[in-house]
Amino acid sequence: GAVVSQHPSRVICKSGTSVKIECRSLDFQATTMFWYRQFPKKSLMLMATSNEGSKATYEQGVEKDKFLINHASLTLSTLTVTSAHPEDSSFYICSASGTGNYEQYFGPGTRLTVT
């Protein structure tokens, strides 16, 4: 149990375009989802926390207008990178937790390359 999927696993897009990454909890209801960014050989940096039906809470320094997060249902959260630039190239990982659960379950990640 507690499986989280991400789609796509890797995506290449041109500079200036937008790209959407989906995070789904497959066998539980995810009341809270988290989005992380990981640079090569670095740790995970939290970008934002989203609760189902509410606006996401962004970490300091993360542009909310650039990284749009939607958590419209208990099984799906999306991250849209708007007007992508090469510096947005990174590995994006989502995680999810259910009601009353302190443990987070991680998706397999999405490698974004902006050319």
Partner 1 sequence: AQTVTQSQPEMSVQEAETVTLSCTYDTSENNYYLFWYKQPPSRQMILVIRQEAYKQQNATENRFSVNFQKAAKSFSLKISDSQLGDTAMYFCAFSTGTASKLTFGTGTRLQVTL
Write out the residues near partner 1 by the rule CB under 8 A. Answer: 31-32, 34, 38, 41-44, 46, 49, 51, 91, 93, 95, 97, 99-104, 106, 108-109
* Contacts with 101 (C-beta within 8 Å, 6 or more apart), sequence order: none
Instruction: Considering the complex, state which of residue 35 and residue 88 has its C-beta at the smaller distance from partner 1.
Output: 35
> Shortest Cβ distance from residue 67 to partner 1 (Å)?
16
CA distance 19 to 96: 21
Distances in whole angstroms, Cα of residue 58 to Cα of each of 15, 35, 36, 92: 23, 10, 11, 15
> Shortest Cβ distance from residue 91 to partner 1 (Å)?
6
Instruction: Considering the complex, state which of residue 15 and residue 73 has its C-beta at the smaller distance from partner 1.
Output: 73
Q: Cα 20 vs. chain centroid, distance in angstroms?
A: 9
Q: Which residues pair with 77 in a beta bridge?
A: 23
Instruction: Considering the complex, state which of residue 15 and residue 55 has its C-beta at the smaller distance from partner 1.
Output: 55
Instruction: Considering the complex, state which of residue 14 and residue 41 has its C-beta at the smaller distance from partner 1.
Output: 41
